[in-house]
């Protein structure tokens, strides 16, 4: 778990530091399209989707997609979009005061070869019982075919 948290934090940090990769001459990227902002030899995949915060405001969330999900697992754009959608949908799963939840503008979908599963790594903020914003990190696991992993009761196995 600590390793996943570290990897997720590193991926988000790298993505945030690298900037959006867009320049002012690029037209707006289609919402939900898998985009390679790297080169063919060294791809860097992103997907941008719209999310709704707890207060019903909308924002764009940009997902950094692990290259091995596209190249090794060969998941198509629709499967990746579904995982990103599920990440947005369940990002506030463990939040006590859901109307205060705000999505981060960056998220990631990573492949853990050792565990043989994919994780949507979401972050955001929500207020605690005292009205103080807390950072929230949520990990939503998927199998290598892009299907969300559920517990014995059929609920998402989110941590």
In tens, the pLDDT along 77-123 reads 999 999 999 999 999 999 999 999 999 999 999 999 999 999 999 99
The pTM assigned to this predicted structure is 0.82
Domain count, the chain: 1
Is residue 31 domain-resident?
Answer: no
Q: Which residue has the higher pLDDT, 125 or 30?
A: 125
Is residue 32 domain-resident?
Answer: no
User: 91: domain range?
Assistant: 2-18+47-142
DSSP per position, the chain: -HHHHHHHHHHHHHHHHH-----TTSPPPPTT-EEE-S-SSS--EEEEEEEE-TTS-EEEEEEEEPHHHHHTS---HHHHHHHHHHHHHHTTTT-SSGGG-EE-SEEEEEEETTTTEEEEEEEEEEE-TTS-EEEEEEEEEE-TTSPBPB-TTSSB---
């Amino acid at each position: 778990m600590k390793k996943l948290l570290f990897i997720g934090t590193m991926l988000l940090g790298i993505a945030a530091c690298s900037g959006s990769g867009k320049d002012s001459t690029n037209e707006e990227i289609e919402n939900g399209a898998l985009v390679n902002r790297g080169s063919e030899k060294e791809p860097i995949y992103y997907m941008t989707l719209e999310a709704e915060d707890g207060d019903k405001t909308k924002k764009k969330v940009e997902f950094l997609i692990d290259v091995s999900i596209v190249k090794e697992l060969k998941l198509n754009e629709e499967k990746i979009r579904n995982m990103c959608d599920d990440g947005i949908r369940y990002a506030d799963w463990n939040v006590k005061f859901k109307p205060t939840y705000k999505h981060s503008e960056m998220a990631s979908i990573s492949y853990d070869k050792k565990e043989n599963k994919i994780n949507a790594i979401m972050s955001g903020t929500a207020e605690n019982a005292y009205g103080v914003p807390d950072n929230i990190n949520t990990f939503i696991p998927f199998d290598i075919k892009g299907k969300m992993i559920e517990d014995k009761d059929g609920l998402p196995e989110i941590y």
